[in-house]
Amino acid sequence: MGKHKLQGEKRSVKRSLFMVLGLLGPGLVAALADNDAGGVISYAVTGAKFGVGLFIPLTLLMVLITYTVQEMAMRLGVVAEDSYNTLVKQKYGKFWMIYQLLSLVVENFITLMTEFIGMSAGLVILGLPMWAAVLIGLVLVLAIALFRGYATKEKIAVGVGCLNIVFIIIACMTKPDWNAIANSFITWAVPSGEHGNVIWYMIALVGNAIAPWMIFYQNSAYINKGSKKEDLRKGKMDTVIGCVLQVVIAVFIILIGAALFGCIPDIENAGPSELIGALQEKFGFVPAMLFGIGLFDAGLLAAITVSLSSSWSVAEAFGWSKSLDDSITKAPKFYGVYFGCVIAAAVVVMIPGLPLNHLAILVQVISGILMTPILVFLTLLTSRKDVMGEYQNTMFQKIKAWIVVAVLGGVSILSFVTLF
């Protein structure tokens, strides 16, 4: 009797696990890919500069912004069954579609370069030369296009995204002070002497919470997946799981950085090599190696999703075949954009003396220019009855969305003031 009961419980656990796995898709992939190589470095530097305090609870609050935006992107794709780009062109004119498309492609290309920089830095710790690290990253990003069918490619992306768990393992290896972490939710403390620097890092935190490509990727991925209105609940659960995991993992990356508090001189200009070196010096080779692997994984997932968002957007603008269910021969232009962006970015990062810090700033500037109009049009589109029918934004959803628009618009203006 006990044996049968145990077998029944095992079957129940398996069923529950498969149900959860069945929910995972574009929402999870987009959210975890937002913790890209640049985001990982940014979170770790934030932790190393400010320790355990203000940025722990503040990072968790970012889930409200991310979910509000990504849920609208998902709902628009599922209900309208047409892409964001196409709908902007139909409802608001060709100019805005072209403006956003060009801005997205430029920003995505620069972002791709930063992903290859992160991936290569993650492998260099294993003793690989720069060119070999870039080549491995390039081959893996290109290889996903060779697999047949959307479902297969989505499963690979989900698998790559789930490897983000390595940052939780590393954080635990540094033996964080859990009492101090719990206390941070009460005090929201900032180290003495650092109050003047808080604003810039808060801007970076909000900027890390949501990126333009995420909206284009999640919107197009749900369309490509063939999701229908009856799948909206699953889509919302997928998005919730992704957004929550994103901020939780971001907090653990901050904790990794906090373990290096006071250990890295000139922390503002620290890159992946300085962070990995400090980890190795204080905690040994294994945590440093795992951080390198995590950095490579973060860059790999982001490179795939960022490239796909460019490919989908360009293909939608020109009316090309754009399904991941199509082979390369059936959608050559769609895959041509994917291959072209990835290969060009990998080649450019090999240029000696590339101004990496300036590239990172340029990404933020273009993102600020692009993000506010995207959010405005996304909110307008999801509030239109002729587009969404009964699934248009409720009054509460409209209020949330416009608050997010105001916050991100304000952050964009503040970032310009801070930079220039």
CATH domain 25-419 topology = Amino acid/polyamine transporter I (1.20.1740)
> What's residue 14's pLDDT?
47
Query: Is there a contact between 322 and 64 (Cβ–Cβ < 8 Å)?
Result: no
Query: Is there a contact between 205 and 39 (Cβ–Cβ < 8 Å)?
Result: no
Q: For 110-135, what is the HEC assignment?
A: HHHHHHHHHHHHHHHCCCCCHHHHHH
Give residue 377's Cα distance to chain centre: 21
pLDDT in tens, the chain (420 residues): 555 555 555 555 444 444 444 457 899 999 999 999 888 988 998 898 888 888 999 999 999 999 999 999 999 999 998 999 999 999 999 999 998 898 889 889 988 988 998 898 888 887 888 889 999 999 999 998 888 888 888 889 989 998 999 999 999 999 999 999 999 899 888 876 666 678 878 888 887 888 889 999 999 999 999 889 999 999 999 999 999 999 999 999 999 999 998 888 877 777 788 888 899 999 999 999 999 999 999 999 999 999 999 999 999 988 899 888 888 889 999 999 999 999 999 999 888 776 655 666 566 666 766 788 889 999 999 999 999 999 999 999 999 999 999 988 888 787 777 666
> What's residue 31's pLDDT?
92
Query: Is there a contact between 112 and 345 (Cβ–Cβ < 8 Å)?
Result: yes
Give residue 375's Cα distance to chain centre: 17
> What's residue 220's pLDDT?
92
Count CB-CB contacts under 10 A for residue 59. Answer: 23
Query: Is there a contact between 112 and 303 (Cβ–Cβ < 8 Å)?
Result: yes
> What's residue 29's pLDDT?
92
> What's residue 337's pLDDT?
95
- The domain segmentation of the chain, as residue ranges, is 25-419
